[in-house]
Structure 1
């Protein structure tokens, strides 16, 4: 480990110190979202494990298979205390068919954020929890005989830690909720969403899917009292006359069942095909939602964070949303994102996070959030002008005035 927990926490707090400039002073007073810190995990930071990517197509100069397990970005990030975080990867390479050699894990990471005053901007990977089902709770065949979970079994997209220390994962193949202990050991059978099945659902049989592929539980919030989960469908249901509708569900952790309560969230009218990248709770009862398009680089148009309150709907029963952060337009008066790497797009005084799959947001306290990307290794290349090299995994800390 590079730093003690106390030193890591202090490094993150240094991001609160504004640079000595007039524009930074305005940002510090809360006038506009400002970049406080940035850390980068290289795309090729392979981790211990068997070779992977045997069925992945070459992209951006990368030719599979890979000499170990890549970290293809993070689909969820949780504060683990002391300046460290849990970073959760998804199913690996995008489909059930090509991800059987990708192991499902939670990585413990220690970012040393580059801030206005200090920090290397690097990320240490301290270890991981391997998800596994040795007790046979998963009622359908798994890809590996040793019952280590892979991307051919589940497409994990969200995770929350319950007050008892166990983890709950939201995933897309079912969509299911998956419950593990603090070490990644599956504790119960996956919980299906009543009446909803994707094309990859192992129990679909001859029935027609009610949800398109890859539109399951991308985001999932935990209530501030730790008693309820709020998984939200990434896309609209099959046949929904409103293609902008995204449904928020409520799951009672004590009773281990869906309560039947739902809410309607609508994506922006200009982007009816937008997906929801993540969903997390704030201490005041509101929630933050990432709403994004599937574009990247200069073509990206919709990478926004909205605040909602489940107690606040319009006359049609749709959740009212307030824009708090445009990820394509973040002030960087202190030059946290500089110097630019060769061919780097979107850095400088106006910092942009134009990455294809922005899928992680974590509240850090006060008016600060952490945002991270899934880099779809080796496919996404939104950070590079030439669009000819794979995106790294980026973690940024942003001061967001609208949170107070």
Structure 2
């Protein structure tokens, strides 16, 4: 049975259509990628599985740096909050299994593997002045400590040489971020340093260490070097970044001599966003000159060239990566590229605009067959940028991969065609769990992104925090969506799903250019309230109304639902702000339905009426749809003393309204929470599809469902019946990600194709991943 919009199929078999090509270096579609090899995420392992079989724990965990056993079957990661070393079985990489965690008695800062041993650097410092640390040698097979070496300071990165003869450890002795020296220079001793451990002898008890002095090298704060990261090439040459000193040092491990050192230099950036507005606004109109690179992670890509991930620190963020030759010459600098790509994919963290933008954190190089790959982690955008670096002067973008929030460590395992990223952010309350992301290289099309934006005048269309979804009534290739209140100057976006990935081709601001909101909304509010209701509502006034309208006539509402209007333009459902009677959440806006012209101008304003307005709860309007001369708008949760939320029904011609009650599923999550409505779409003949979800994500998610409802024979005030059509949990799991909390968009095209969409919360306490999923609905 084919799912047609004019007749609701009673059963729907789900299958996820992936088949999406990667971005090439010119960000154009490349059909050849369908036959090329691509990395795709095949699993996400939440670290909390080490503590509980269902991750039903609030304990903070963190996978920060990850290594692998020589055979590539066991992952070993550092878990700083738990002061432990974790082990994960990836003999079947699509189904990673927890093994155990080993207590270390100190904070692990990094881990690497040498033969049968995992080598862990731990910080045991009392404070920032009384520093200490150790190298712990762990037998991987038995997961037991076999040796320990004092390091004399607080370590950070650690690396083993390809030859097996050396291990390098950077001693950062980081400064207290709150330390304020009297002379104004951010210097806090003791100084950091560099340690070479001679590991040619098979017994770790016989290993010895040598110290390399790092003071006096950098121009910035030469007395207080803070080495950050180290990598070693096939010539046993170590490259070390001194992030806060904006300096790079190359050391010959055999002799222990500093062979070269130089400033990491600065970059000039144009067309970036350096302002953090509230509500957010992505505006690629700023510039920054002479920004120090302040590199964090570093990786050799040959014996003559290395790459730095230029995170930035004291002096802002340089927002990219740089390829140097070993003599210090810059052969390539990415400039604003990573920020623009993050914007293009909806991953740009606007809340970090005044700091470091996408914030590149780490880099990894590996050869997979004959292909030379560079992987650059973006910590704040939760992306991995994948480049071909066969020509160091002209790296070619191959793919962009999504991760769980805050990727720190990155590891390539070419022998198994695997890539691993360790995401450290863990906050159960924000629906974030620290995780190991597992990708596999294969001859399959790239599955991410599923949505990106086109460029206009050389810059990507900025988008994120998408909520409702609507289909063009006749063109099966066009969808529409809106961004929610995370952003100001709200917009309607046009999506072309005939392209792969689906592409946002236009962005239209919603405006009050004709002063309709300014004049009609106040009248509509007055008309919607009687005297008693007005006393209860208390706080919504002209100042609140004025705050919805900017000086340029753009508006700041909370668009959660969108529908195409039968007479042209759109209907936009705006969720109200505030709960009546809750002093902590004062009423700042009612729930509004806006009629918007094809050019974005507000033409009319509708409220929910006195009865509903007088009991407003902050969980308000979500989805909206038009059918047979009426609007049907879903309120997310129950208001007042009602047992169920309502579906608000508004007759467009008579302007009369009513509502019916929708019975939500009971919460099923192990973490409790609530269940609410997200979207509604008309299917014809008074049949509708409704999207219902809980407010849980990751291992706690339980309810992401599509129900059908029949409103052909109901009266105002009835509690309606519903029929389960689709349980989306398996569909979402097929992306390889942890389950997204906010599945908020649902649309069915003119040809009967169903799409769902998640809201990424503007990359605030979120990985930023947006999945626009096309769902096959054939029996």
For this structure pair, what is the TM-score category when the shorter chain's length is used for normalisation?
0.5 to 0.7
> Residue 77 of structure 1 is aligned with which of 466, 469, 476?
469
Shift of 1:40: 9.8
Do 1:165 and 1:181's aligned partners in 2 also have CA atoms closer than 8 Å? yes
Shift of 1:293: 0.6
Matched, 1:304 2:705: yes
CA distance in 2, matches of 1:148, 1:377: 19
Are residues 380 and 309 of structure 1, via their aligned partners in 2, closer, same or farther at CA, if it must alter by over 3 Å?
Answer: farther
Instruction: From the superposition, tell whether residues 65 and 234 of structure 1 become closer, same or farther in structure 2 (CA, over 3 Å).
Output: same
Residues 241-299 of structure 1 show CA distances to partners (whole Å, capped at 9, x for unaligned) of x2xx01112111123x1333x21111013458211010111134311111101111222
Distance 1:62 1:161, change over 3 A: closer
**1:303-354 CA deviation, whole Å, 9 max, x = no partner?**
000001013679x942111111111023xxxxxxxxxxxxxx9336xx7882
SS at match of 2:598: coil
| 2:398 is the alignment partner of 1:398 | no
Quote the residue 1:289 is aligned against.
690
Alpha-carbon deviation of 1:128? 1.4
Q: 1:109 to 1:180 in 2, by over 3 A?
A: same
Change (3 A) 1:162 1:303: same
Matches within 5 A, 1:148-159: 148-150=554-556, 154-159=557-562
Q: Out of 604, 622, 625, which is 1:218 matched to?
A: 622
2:631 corresponds to which residue?
Answer: 229
SS of equivalent residue, structure 1 residue 235: coil
Q: Which residue of 2 aligns with 1:7?
A: none
Select the structure that is richer in strand: 2
CA contact (8 A) 1:222 1:230 kept: yes
Match of 1:194 among 590, 609, 612: 609
Q: 2:656 maps to what in 1? A: 258
**1:180 to 2:596 alignment:** yes
CA 1:325/1:295 → structure 2, altered by over 3 Å: closer, same or farther? same
Larger radius of gyration: 2
1:246 aligns with 2:645: yes
Shift of 1:163: 1.7
Q: 2:550 aligns with which of 144, 147, 150?
A: 144
CA RMSD of aligned residues (A): 3.5
Distance 1:85 1:64, change over 3 A: same
Contact 1:74-1:89 within 8 A present in 2 as well: yes
Structure 1's 304 and 49: CA in aligned 2 closer, same or farther, altered over 3 A?
farther
**Structure 2: distance between partners of 1:250 and 1:107:** 25
Distance 2:22 2:624 in 1: 24
> Aligned pair in 2 of structure 1 residues 31, 357: CA closer, same or farther (>3 Å)?
closer
Q: Distance in 2 between matches of 1:56 and 1:147?
A: 16
Alignment correspondent of 1:347: 734
Q: d(CA) in 1 for partners of 2:275 and 2:598? A: 26
Q: How does 1:1-400 map to 2 (within 5 A)?
A: 32-37=13-18, 53-55=276-278, 62=349, 64-66=351-353, 70-80=462-472, 81=475, 83-91=477-485, 93=486, 99=487, 102-111=488-497, 120=500, 122-139=501-518, 140-141=545-546, 142-150=548-556, 154-173=557-576, 174-188=590-604, 190-195=605-610, 210-213=615-618, 215-223=619-627, 225=628, 227-240=629-642, 242=643, 245-255=644-654, 257-260=655-658, 262-270=659-667, 273-311=674-712, 317-330=718-731, 346-347=733-734, 354-364=739-749, 368-379=753-764, 381=766, 390-400=767-777
8 A Cα contact 2:595 2:603, kept in partner? yes
8 A Cα contact 2:471 2:750, kept in partner: no
Q: Assess if the C-alpha contact under 8 Å between 1:325 and 1:400 holds in 2.
A: no
Shift of 1:364: 2.5
**CA-CA distance at 1:238 after TM superposition:** 2.4
**Offset at residue 165 of structure 1 (A):** 0.6
The 1:300/1:75 distance shift into structure 2, 3 A limit, reads same
8 Å CA contact 1:34–1:400 kept in 2: the answer is yes
Q: Deviation per CA, 1:346-375, whole angstroms, max 9, x where unpaired?
A: 336xx7882111111111256631111111
Residues 106, 367 of structure 1: alpha-carbon distance in 2 compared, 3 angstrom cutoff: closer
TM-score by length of 1: 0.66
Tell me the SS of whatever aligns to 2:699. helix
Q: Distance in 1 between matches of 2:641 and 2:726?
A: 32
Cα-to-partner distance string for 1:214-264 (whole Å, 9 max, x where unaligned): x221011211x3x11011211111233x2xx01112111123x1333x211
Q: Deviations over 1:55-91 (max 9, x none)?
A: 479xx99472448984223212222325122221111
- SS state at 1:75 partner: strand
Q: Which runs of 5+ in 2 are unaligned?
A: 3-10, 28-270, 281-346, 358-459, 519-544, 577-589
Query: Deviations along 1:142-176, whole A, 9 cap, x unmatched?
Result: 442111112xxx11111112221121111112111
Distance (Å, rounded) in 1 between the aligned partners of 2:710 and 2:22: 34
Distance 1:134 1:76 in 2: 23
Q: Which has the higher contact order (CA 8 A, sep 6+)?
A: 1
Cα displacement (A) at 1:195: 1.9
